[in-house]
Amino acid sequence: MSAVLPIRTEEIISYNPATGAEVGRVPQTSADDVKAAVTRSRSAFQNWKKTSFKERAAYIMQAREVILSQMDEIAHLISAESGKPFGEAISMEIAPVLDLMQYFARNTEKLLGPTKIGIGLYALLGRSSKIVYHPLGVVGIIPAWNYPFSIPLGEAVMALMAGNTVVIKPSELTPMVGLKIGEIFEKAQSTTNLRLSNIVQIVTGDGQTGAALVEAAPDKIMFTGSVATGKKIAAAAAKNLTSCVFELGGKDPMIVFADANLELAAGAAVWGAFCNSGQSCSSVERLYVQENVAEVLTRKIVEKVRELTQGVGDSEDISIGAMSSERQIKIVEDHVEDFRAAGAKIEIGGRRNPDLEGLFYEPTVITNASNDMRAMQEETFGPTLPVATFTTEEEAIRLANDSEFGLTASVWTRDRAKGERVARQIEAGSVCVNEVLYTHGIAQTPWGGFKNSGRGRTHGREGLMELVQPQHIHINLLALLPDAWWMPYSPNAIITFRAMARKFASGSIIKTTMLLPQLARRIKELVTKR
């Protein structure tokens, strides 16, 4: 359905991928206007950084109230623009981000509180060190279209709580959801005592607008998207030394051992592969099952897929919605064709849904897949579940790690020790044992990938650390005498320096104590030379 593709004009038209109906129109923001937005954001930062954590939290909690009061309206908008089922708009976007908002509103002050650092032997010399955290300034957020509400909003909340201001460039496929985020913050502000503007700004447009945001040199870029765009942004950001967090693609493996609860694993595989029509960065895109239970697990999975209803996501009993774009559905067709041509077997699905007019691809289960097939290496980002088999634990780990990506993985076994042993050997940022996909929804834990799945983290304390700069405050509590290493140097100084290299730098308290008389001689020398 080519009518679903946005038309490149001064204006971007957003369409519902399930029905082809227009959802809304937004301007293609020019590079000059993006630059002006970043300038406004930078000046707003001067006031916002001075607000207390309590004031910031009140603002975020107020935004949370706005979302709660408009929950169904927002879920319908997300569903209309992305094609995902209404239920998933609530369970996978609104609910987790509401939790993230309360968590960071309540805990950022503690998470970013000054940290006292043990400085070993320097403490013996009467010194003390602490780290305090400063906001960066303007954070530019460039998200993908697949979680158009929760990802940019969650990142904005963390950035704001850390004291930064924010400019978001939503995907051209989901600009109305982007504007909704701006509207939520505006409404929240009007109900608090804060009289600040341009704390959160939304600049709509396509990739060029995203490039203009990078060009405008914000103090940080939070990017979610493909590896290819990530590399372009890294190159452009390098010109201004802008640091970036990259949340990129995945080809996430699920390993099912013969001793797993197969009924549960089958349900997890279906949800993990097909929620959001497989358009999650942490979708299960490769299932490795121990050979002797492969048949029974596959049968269970196929039976569960048969029970699913596909259709326009607006309706409450739909489990599989539309895909987001014609471009994406073509990648799925190409990969399914690759599997077919390479000798894999399509157990169910394997085609566009012939009964539906929009961008619907049937949930597809594929057996006899193997890692040498192209479609087992490239990210599909669609409703396909290829199944391959293994015999030993070592083989399962090797197959799972045979990928350029490393976002998440899951291991299924009733043996908890084996589960954790295998999990630690998987090259992925987040590995679940007897769980799948959902850990992006946990605000407290870091999210990010190994290998080509990304750089940096969002969520958790690690995510907050990406949004601040640490400052080391070092205090000399006994500031009466010069340091032994100060000028002028002398033969006695050199003796002291050699002793310091041998004793002080050894990390041993006993050796350092033995050094004290020499240090005292050297300091006396400096004092008498004054």
> Please, which of residues 235-254 interact with ligand NDP by CB under 6 A?
247-250
Choice between 438 and 504, CB closer to ligand NDP: 438
Residue 332 interacts with ligand NDP (CB under 6 A): yes or no: no
The C-alpha atoms of residue 207 and residue 171 are separated, in whole angstroms, by: 8
Contact 28, 11 (CB under 8 A): yes
The C-alpha atoms of residue 334 and residue 329 are separated, in whole angstroms, by: 9
Residue 179 interacts with ligand NDP (CB under 6 A): yes or no: no
Close Cβ partners of 284 (under 8 Å, ≥ 6 residues apart) = 252, 253, 254, 268, 269, 272, 273, 385, 410, 436, 437
Residue 15 interacts with ligand NDP (CB under 6 A): yes or no: no
Residue 17 interacts with ligand NDP (CB under 6 A): yes or no: no
Contact 183, 201 (CB under 8 A): no
Residue nearest ligand NDP by beta-carbon distance: 210
Q: Which two tokens stand for residue 204?
A: 């709509």
Choosing from 172, 281, 347, 379, the catalytic residue is: 281
Choosing from 81, 93, 155, 247, the catalytic residue is: 247
Residue 294 interacts with ligand NDP (CB under 6 A): yes or no: no
Which residue in 33, 183, 206, 525 binds ligand NDP (CB under 6 A)? 206
Contact 33, 40 (CB under 8 A): no
Choice between 367 and 453, CB closer to ligand NDP: 453
Q: Identify whether 281 is a catalytic site residue.
A: yes
Choice between 135 and 143, CB closer to ligand NDP: 143
Tokens 């080509």 correspond to 452
> Please, which of residues 479-508 interact with ligand NDP by CB under 6 A?
none
Task: Supply angle C-alpha 431, 436, 437, rounded to 5.
Answer: 85
> Among residues 133, 309, 138, which one has the least CA distance to residue 213?
138
Residue 454 interacts with ligand NDP (CB under 6 A): yes or no: yes
> Please, which of residues 365-384 interact with ligand NDP by CB under 6 A?
379, 381
Residue 265 interacts with ligand NDP (CB under 6 A): yes or no: no
Closest distance between ligand NDP and the C-beta of residue 324, in Å? Answer: 8
> Please, which of residues 103-162 interact with ligand NDP by CB under 6 A?
142-147
Which residue in 41, 164, 189, 224 binds ligand NDP (CB under 6 A)? 224
Closest distance between ligand NDP and the C-beta of residue 36, in Å? Answer: 18
Closest distance between ligand NDP and the C-beta of residue 285, in Å? Answer: 10
Choice between 165 and 283, CB closer to ligand NDP: 283
Q: What is the dihedral of CA 351, 355, 357, 358, to 10 degrees?
A: -50
The C-alpha atoms of residue 224 and residue 145 are separated, in whole angstroms, by: 9
Residue 226 interacts with ligand NDP (CB under 6 A): yes or no: yes
Is residue 168 classed as helix, strand or coil in its secondary structure? strand
Choice between 219 and 247, CB closer to ligand NDP: 247
Give the range of 204-212, 268-276, 364-372, 384-392 binding ligand NDP by CB under 6 A.
Answer: 204-212
The C-alpha atoms of residue 426 and residue 418 are separated, in whole angstroms, by: 13
Residue 281 interacts with ligand NDP (CB under 6 A): yes or no: yes
Residue 276 interacts with ligand NDP (CB under 6 A): yes or no: no
Choice between 147 and 438, CB closer to ligand NDP: 147
Which strand ranges, in their side-by-side order, compose the sheet holding 165-168? 200-202, 165-168, 138-142, 220-224, 243-247, 454-455
Residue 172 interacts with ligand NDP (CB under 6 A): yes or no: yes
Residue 171 interacts with ligand NDP (CB under 6 A): yes or no: yes
Q: Which two tokens stand for residue 502?
A: 């041998």
Q: Which two tokens stand for residue 346?
A: 């399509």
Burial class (CB in 10 A: 0-12, 13-18, 19+), 288: buried
The C-alpha atoms of residue 375 and residue 360 are separated, in whole angstroms, by: 20
Residue 207 interacts with ligand NDP (CB under 6 A): yes or no: yes
Element (H, E) at 365: strand 364-367
Closest distance between ligand NDP and the C-beta of residue 276, in Å? Answer: 10
Closest distance between ligand NDP and the C-beta of residue 12, in Å? Answer: 8
Which residue in 407, 411, 499, 515 binds ligand NDP (CB under 6 A)? 407
The letter for the amino acid at 190 is S
Strands 408-412, 252-256: pairing kind = parallel
Q: Identify whether 88 is a catalytic site residue.
A: no
Is residue 243 classed as helix, strand or coil in its secondary structure? strand
Q: Which two tokens stand for residue 503?
A: 């004793």
Q: Interface with ligand NDP by CB under 6 A: which residues?
A: 142-147, 169, 171-173, 206-207, 210-211, 214, 224-226, 229, 232-233, 247-250, 281, 379, 381, 407, 449, 453-454
Give the residue numbers marked as catalytic.
247, 281
